[in-house]
Amino acid sequence: MHLAPSAPDPSRRRTGIPLAVAALAVTTLALGVAAPANAAADDLLDENAIAPHAAPYGTFVDVYTANSSANTTPETNPAIGVLSGMLDLWQPGATWDTGRATDVGAAVLDANIARNVEVARTRTAADETAAWIFDRRHQSYSAIDGLGPAASAFREAMNAGTTIPDAIPADATTVRYDDAGNASGRWADPNSELGSVVALVDTVRGPSASSNPSKNFFSYKRPFRWVDDSIIVPALMPVRKPDSEAASDGGFPSGHTNAAYLASFALADAAPQYQDLLIANAAEIGDSRIVAGMHSSLDVIGGRVLATALAAASLNDPANAELRAAASAEAQGLIDTLPAPASTSTLDDADYDALAQRYRDRMTYGLPSTGVAGLPARVPAGAEVLLEHRLPYLDAEQRRWVLHSTAIDSGHAVLDDPEGWGRLNLFDASNGYGAFDTDVTVTMDAGSGGFAAADEWRNDIDGSGSLTKDGSGTLVLSGDNTYTGGTIVDDGIVQATSPTALGTGDLSVTGGSLVEATSGLAVGGDFTQAKDAALELSVENAAPALSIAGTATLGGTLRVGLPAEAPASPLRLIAYGARAADTTFDAVELTGAGAGFDGALDYRADGVYLVDVTAPGETPGTPAPGIPAPGIPAPGIPAPGASDTAAGGDSAAAIGTSAARPTTDRIARTGGEGSPVGLLIGGVLLVSAGGVVLLSRLRRLARR
């Protein structure tokens, strides 16, 4: 599966507020209910939640070189130790065919092999072809597929090669095909343009990265030895080892899966733009081992866990620091030369969500649980290195929180190792936090380029913590988020591409810009905008572009993108439960409206409206006919569309009365034809189409 990398895409818009959120917003706006309170401090986790735990063998990243045939116990070999949860299911015997399932493990192991039988029964010819190719090709070469649109450029620059064709040869059922690589007999050349990238892959797959010591220890049979050869893809029969070699041909963990993930993690370290796709491709290679009939689901799970720990250890090793830097420089130099389609995302929300779910499914394969669910996640020592280049604007502690927040639940077979390697979901973690379990401050720098300049968090974020965005860079939030601690935009840009991107708490825009890039952005609490901040809204339909459940304190600049056709009037741009007295926007910029549209901003009891002052019967400040209330107003709450006189703020209804004192302040126009026309009267901002019209005023002193 070759999909493009995940990266911010301003054009993506998740539409429609979920029913539960919509119901809450409607009720809150109608009744004037106060915003939800932020989470109490005792709902947050402290640093102990991400503190590393040692295993009987120590910490994997410190002792990984002990993975050798000389060390044959879980206490002396970390590769055996990290997979020792298998011993809860299986007890190895004195010979390859005398092991037995434990009482706890019997149901899991039965389901494990039954799944092989079912996969063999339902696999297609295309599935068999892919399984044959992945089996026969060098795993490092196959890992390049995960680079998506950049894969061909990387293959050329690495001088990568294979002799395994893209189709199964007619004689493959009787002839064994082995990969001879490129002209040099290698999968890629270390003296190529991307020689350091090749060397990094080879290093991560080095002498300490073998799965053989673990296979020999657990001595768990391959699935065809539990069933029969009918589950093997016929074209792979020539590579099936005879039972006379079964003692050195164990199934758990899968060596192909281990190798595929190791190569993919190394490539992701050099080219993090494609990290989630590389990881998903590694899972695809692993899954093919089940299709091939060569490995079981547990074998593939074990290969992934082992590779995750081994890759982190190798990338943490100080001896490899210079090589990592050189590989990154080479890969980024190549990516800089690629056309835009090869370095930007074409992975839409539906494709991303499907890929993420498939990866989660393959982490456990739905095998019966054996342990306790709901236990806190653990983050292994050094695991944060796997996100170092993907999330460079986060510090090491923050990256550990990302791993903690995206880990899967406990209780799954084999995955509850003492350090926590088995539960790490690196696909999700490559796309930001899964929860704010503590207050998060992220500082991004537009001048640094790469992910530090612009990034997207695509996971659904929950938790009791808050998010503060600082620095000049851009952060895109696109998940269906439910975090309760609130959001603060201090600098740069926060772009919301889903209706619930900002969680359920308060929103404060003290600097920089908040950009609404969805159809109807919801704020679950109060909204506050400072004079130096900007709010950017896009009008696509008659629904409010921004719905605020609590009180809106307005200020700063409002930018509104309108459709080419004149919008229906009156149009409620912003809905709120209440508006803080004497607060309006200091400046407004309208773009996109067709010629002849003369609009006015009207601050009413239930929101900010855009009205066409030239339309018959449209008088700024009057109730909005035809716009239904979001609910039955509680006593004392102004009806939707009514003038906002009760709030003590500027009222558009004062136009034409003796109480209104016309004032006009700095009016500027950018683009378009014609003379600038704009008027601020009694709190109404009158604007004219035909370009961008900026209108500014000083905020009045509050009435005494």
Three-class DSSP category at 547: strand
For the residues 497-522, what does the mean pLDDT come to?
A: 97
User: Is 602 a residue whose pLDDT tops 50?
Assistant: yes
Q: What is the pLDDT of residue 568?
A: 80
Q: What is the pLDDT of residue 694?
A: 36
H/E element, 303: helix 297-316
Range of the domain at 678: 526-627+639-696
CA-based nearest residue to 694, from 673, 678, 675: 678
DSSP 643: B
The gap from C-alpha 687 to its chain's centroid, in whole angstroms, comes to 40
Q: What is the pLDDT of residue 365?
A: 98
The gap from C-alpha 56 to its chain's centroid, in whole angstroms, comes to 34
The CA–CA distances, whole Å, from 281 to 4, 140, 307, 379 equal: 12, 12, 14, 24
Within-domain flag for 530: yes
User: Is 585 a residue whose pLDDT tops 70?
Assistant: yes
Within-domain flag for 314: yes
User: Is 424 a residue whose pLDDT tops 80?
Assistant: yes
Query: Domain boundary at 341, 366, 391, which?
Result: 366
Within-domain flag for 170: yes
The CA–CA distances, whole Å, from 258 to 139, 254, 268, 438, 669 equal: 9, 6, 15, 34, 61
User: Is 519 a residue whose pLDDT tops 90?
Assistant: no
Three-class DSSP category at 1: coil
For the residues 511-533, what does the mean pLDDT come to?
A: 97
Q: What is the pLDDT of residue 691?
A: 33
For the residues 161-172, what does the mean pLDDT come to?
A: 98
Q: What is the pLDDT of residue 663?
A: 25
Q: What is the pLDDT of residue 628?
A: 37
User: Is 142 a residue whose pLDDT tops 70?
Assistant: yes
CA-based nearest residue to 478, from 11, 147, 26, 19: 11
User: Is 80 a residue whose pLDDT tops 70?
Assistant: yes
Higher pLDDT, 7 or 338: 338
Which range is least confidently modeled, 131-140, 348-357, 476-485?
A: 348-357
Within-domain flag for 2: no
The gap from C-alpha 393 to its chain's centroid, in whole angstroms, comes to 15
Measured at the CA of 524, the angle between CA 522 and CA 526, to 5 degrees, comes to: 110
Three-class DSSP category at 347: coil
For the residues 127-153, what does the mean pLDDT come to?
A: 97
Within-domain flag for 149: yes
Q: What is the pLDDT of residue 594?
A: 67
For the residues 649-658, what does the mean pLDDT come to?
A: 32
| Burial state string for 545-558 with b = 16 or more CB within 10 A and e = fewer than 16 | bbbbbbbbbbbbbb
Higher pLDDT, 541 or 60: 60
The gap from C-alpha 249 to its chain's centroid, in whole angstroms, comes to 38
Q: What is the mean pLDDT of the chain?
A: 85
Total count of domains within the chain: 2
Enumerate residues 6+ apart whose C-beta is below 8 A from 67.
Answer: 77, 78, 79, 208, 209, 210, 213, 310
DSSP 346: -
* Alpha carbons 403 and 320: distance in angstroms, whole number: 23
Higher pLDDT, 630 or 262: 262
Specify whether the CB–CB gap between 434 and 482 falls below 8 A: no
How does strand 534-538 pair with strand 513-516?
Answer: parallel
Q: What is the pLDDT of residue 616?
A: 61
Specify whether the CB–CB gap between 558 and 588 falls below 8 A: yes
User: Is 23 a residue whose pLDDT tops 60?
Assistant: no
pLDDT in tens, 450-485: 999 999 999 999 999 999 999 999 999 999 999 999
Specify whether the CB–CB gap between 692 and 593 falls below 8 A: no
pLDDT band at 593 (very low <50, low <70, confident <90, very high): confident
For the residues 51-62, what does the mean pLDDT come to?
A: 98
DSSP 17: -
User: Is 550 a residue whose pLDDT tops 70?
Assistant: yes
Within-domain flag for 12: no
* Alpha carbons 417 and 3: distance in angstroms, whole number: 32
Domain holding 199: CATH number?
A: 1.20.144.10
The CA–CA distances, whole Å, from 47 to 383, 400, 417, 486 equal: 16, 10, 21, 21
Q: What is the pLDDT of residue 619?
A: 54
The gap from C-alpha 494 to its chain's centroid, in whole angstroms, comes to 15
Within-domain flag for 84: yes
Q: What is the pLDDT of residue 42?
A: 63
User: Is 702 a residue whose pLDDT tops 60?
Assistant: no
Query: Domain boundary at 366, 395, 426, which?
Result: 366
User: Is 635 a residue whose pLDDT tops 80?
Assistant: no
Within-domain flag for 304: yes
The gap from C-alpha 441 to its chain's centroid, in whole angstroms, comes to 17
pLDDT in tens, 657-692: 222 222 222 223 233 333 333 333 333 444 433 333
Three-class DSSP category at 456: strand
User: Is 223 a residue whose pLDDT tops 60?
Assistant: yes
Query: Domain boundary at 366, 399, 423, which?
Result: 366
For the residues 635-648, what does the mean pLDDT come to?
A: 44
Q: What is the pLDDT of residue 615?
A: 65
Q: What is the pLDDT of residue 343?
A: 63
pLDDT band at 565 (very low <50, low <70, confident <90, very high): confident
Token representation of residue 213: 């010591």
User: Is 173 a residue whose pLDDT tops 60?
Assistant: yes
Which range is least confidently modeled, 68-72, 325-329, 675-679?
A: 675-679
